[in-house]
Chain A
Amino acid sequence: MARTYVQATINGVATDFLCEPRQSLLEVLRDELGLTGTKEGCNNGNCGACSVLLNGRLVNACCVLGVEIDGAEVTTIEGIGNPDRLHPLQQAFLEEAALQCGVCTPGFIVSAKALLDKEPHPDEQRVRYWLAGNLCRCTGYDKIVRAVLKAADDMEPARQ
C-alpha cells in the first residue's frame, strides 16, 4: 500500500513522516515517531487516553488519521513539561496523588491543559464536565479534579 508523505509540527518541531491513509494519528505518534507518551485505551473515542492537541483543540488521536495532520500543529504529552521542569499540572498530579496505574494520566494532563489554556479559573463542575471524555479506573476522579484545580491556582502568579 502506498504511503503518503506528511509534514507537521509536533511539539514545536517540524516533523515529516510516511504513513498509510488508514493509520490513525495515535498509531503514527506511537509506532512511526516513537512518541509513546500518548496511550492507546479504547481506540474508539470513549476513553481519552490518547488525548492530544491538534491546532490547539483537544482531540482523540485514535479518531484522527495521520494523513489529516499535514500542515497542522500537534502537541502531545511529550510537549508539556519535561522531567527537569514539570508543567504545573504534572506537579499538581504528583502532589495530589492524582494517578495510580498511570495509563490515563497523559490524556488527563493534555485534556486539563486544553481547559486551563482556554479558561484559567474553571470551577469544580466545569473541570468535571470538561474531563468527562477521560476515563480513569483507579482514582475515582476526586484526586484528579483536585489536582487540576490546584494547578489552576499554582499557575496564577505566572500569569501576572
Chain B
Amino acid sequence: MIDRARVTAQPVALLGPNPTLRMPVEAFDYVAPRSLAEAYAHLGNGRTSLLLAGGTDVIVQLREGRKRCDQLIDLKHIPELMRFGFAPDGTLEVGAAAPLAALYEDAEVLRRVPALVDAASIIGGTAIQSRASLGGNLCNASPAADSSAALMVLGARLLIGSASGTRELPVEELFAGPGVNTLQPSELLVQVRIPPQPPRSGAFYLRFIPRNEMDIAVASAGARLELNATGDRIEGARIALGAVGPTPLMAKAAAEALAGEVPGEEAFARAGELAAGVASPITDMRGSVAQRKRLASVLTVRALRGALQRAREAR
C-alpha cells in the first residue's frame, strides 16, 4: 500500500510541489474508450478531463500538481489514434497517440519525411520514445517541443475531432502560449497530416542542447527549401523556430527573402539574421535572451544547409 506519510507531506514553499511526492494528491478516474465516439462522450460528460497518450508529460504534471482532472481519458485503445501510414495521395497520416519510436523506426517514413525523424528521434530518450506521441508533444504546447518546428516547415495540418464533427487546422495555429493549446475542451487531436512535399524540396530540423542527447532545446530551427528545375535558385522556403518565444514561431520574412535567391551561404546568412529578428526569447536556466537570439540565427543557417542537401538529393 502507498506510504501515507509521503503523500501528505507538505510542499516546500519555494520549490513548488514536493518533488519526492510519489503520486498525485488528488484522485482521478481512468477511462479507456475503444472508439472516438466513446472518447467524445467522455469529453462531454461535464467532468474535467485530461487526455492520456504516452503519458510522459501528463503523468508527471499530475504527480507534481501542475495539472488536475476528474478523469483521465486513455486514447491508446482507439485504433485510429495508434495507426500511421501514407494515404494514396502521399499524405503521411499519423494517429495522434502513435508512439514516436514506431514512427521513426519505419523505413518509409525515414525515406520520405526525414525531417520528421530528425525531431521524433530526439524527443526524450529511448524509454520516452516508446510511449510519447506526436499528438502529446504538440498538445502539451511547450515552446521547446521538437516536433512543432519540424511539422510547421513540413506544412502539417491537424485533424481535430469532437462530438459535433471534425475540422482541420494548420499546426502553427495549435499553440496559444507556453503549455496552452487552442483546442476546445470538447475536442481532441485525431491525426497529424503531413502533405506530400513539393518536388525538388528538402527539410531539416535541429536544436541546440548542452548534452548530446536527452535534453530540452535551448533553441531549435526547422527549414524547408524548394529548388527550381535547374537547382540553381530557391523557389520557396519555410522556416520555423522553437524555444525562442511563447510559442513555436514561423519566420515568414526570413523565408520570403530566400525566394529567387541562389541557394548558399550568403542567402542563408541573411535569412538567419531575419529569423533572429522574429525571436522573442526569455532568459531561464537553459539560456539567456542574447544566446537564444544568436542561436536562432545560427540554427536557421544550419537547418537551411541540411534542407539544401536533402533538396539536392531529391532532385
CA distance A54 to B3 in the complex (A): 25
Whether B130 contacts A22 by the Cβ 8 Å rule is no
Residue A114 is within 8 A (CB to CB) of chain B in the complex: yes
Whether A43 contacts B127 by the Cβ 8 Å rule is no
**Which residue of B has the minimal Cβ distance to A20?**
B27
CA distance A57 to B23 in the complex (A): 23
Which of B58-66, B152-160, B173-181, B304-312 is found at the contact surface with chain A?
Answer: B58-66
Which of A93-101, A127-135, A151-159 is found at the contact surface with chain B?
Answer: A127-135
Query: DSSP class of A's interface residues: helix, strand, loop or mixed?
Result: mixed
Residues of B within 8 A of A21 (CB): 27-30, 72
Question: Do A63 and B29 form a contact, CB below 8 Å, given A24-B59, A129-B213?
Answer: no
Count of B residues near A, CB < 8 Å?
Answer: 38
Which of A44-52, A76-84, A142-150 is found at the contact surface with chain B?
Answer: A44-52
Residues of B within 8 A of A65 (CB): 30, 52, 55, 59, 72
Question: Do A111 and B30 form a contact, CB below 8 Å, given A44-B60, A45-B60, A63-B55?
Answer: no
CA distance A24 to B63 in the complex (A): 9
CA distance A63 to B59 in the complex (A): 6
Whether A22 contacts B19 by the Cβ 8 Å rule is no
Binding site for A on B (CB under 8 A): 1-3, 19-20, 22-24, 26-30, 52, 54-56, 59-60, 62-64, 72, 74, 76, 99, 101, 124-128, 130-131, 211-214
Sample (28) of A-B pairs whose CB atoms are under 8 Å apart: A20-B2, A21-B30, A22-B24, A22-B26, A22-B27, A24-B63, A27-B2, A31-B1, A43-B22, A45-B56, A45-B124, A45-B128, A48-B127, A57-B99, A57-B130, A58-B130, A60-B56, A63-B54, A63-B55, A63-B56, A63-B131, A65-B30, A65-B72, A67-B30, A68-B76, A129-B213, A132-B125, A133-B124
